[in-house]
Structure 1
Amino acid sequence: MATREKRLAQFDGNGEPSPEQRVEVLCEDHSGTYQLPFACRFIDGQWRNDTTGGALEVNVIAWRMPRVKQAGMA
């Protein structure tokens, strides 16, 4: 399992992303750190699910631009 420091090192967003940016977020709770499985936006000081627009009820500790998923080699 990845350590908190290793996960944080993978999330390189600085400051707050603009509301137009879809980003991946790293969250933390009493069990540890985890990445949400959906894109988010930071709008009016609040993190929101990009698809539903619902406010996140989690502790976001870092963000990054979405990683491009590459197809497997044949």
Structure 2
Amino acid sequence: MATREKRLAQFDGNGEPAPEQRVEVLCEDHSGTYQLPFACRFVNGQWRNDTTGGALEANVIAWRMPREKQAGIA
């Protein structure tokens, strides 16, 4: 299992992303850190699911630009 520090090092977003920018987010709760399986946007001071527009009920601790998916890797 990846450590918190190792996961944080993979998320290099600084400040807040532009509202139109789709990003990947790293969240944290009492069980540890995890990446959400969907893109998000930061709109009017609130993190939202890019597809549904719904507000996240998660503690976002970091973000990054979407990574390219490699062919043949699940």
The TM tier, using the shorter chain, reads: over 0.9
Show CA shifts across 1:29-48 (max 9, x none): 00000000000000000000
Length, aligned pairs only = 74
Percent pairwise identity: 92
Deviation at 1:70, TM superposition (A): 1.4
Show CA shifts across 1:9-31 (max 9, x none): 00000000000100000000000
CA distance in 1, matches of 2:25, 2:73: 28
CA distance in 2, matches of 1:38, 1:31: 20
The 1:30–1:20 alpha-carbon spacing in structure 2 relative to 1, beyond 3 Å, is same
Deviation at 1:73, TM superposition (A): 9.0
CA distance in 2, matches of 1:25, 1:59: 10
Max radius of gyration: which structure?
1
Deviation at 1:72, TM superposition (A): 2.8
The 1:20–1:31 alpha-carbon spacing in structure 2 relative to 1, beyond 3 Å, is same
The alignment partner of 1:13 has SS state of coil
What CA RMSD, in Å, does the superposition of the two structures yield over aligned residues? 1.9
The 1:73–1:14 alpha-carbon spacing in structure 2 relative to 1, beyond 3 Å, is closer
The 1:32–1:73 alpha-carbon spacing in structure 2 relative to 1, beyond 3 Å, is closer
Query: When the two structures are superposed, what TM-score results if normalisation uses the length of structure 1?
Result: 0.96
Query: When the two structures are superposed, what TM-score results if normalisation uses the length of structure 2?
Result: 0.96
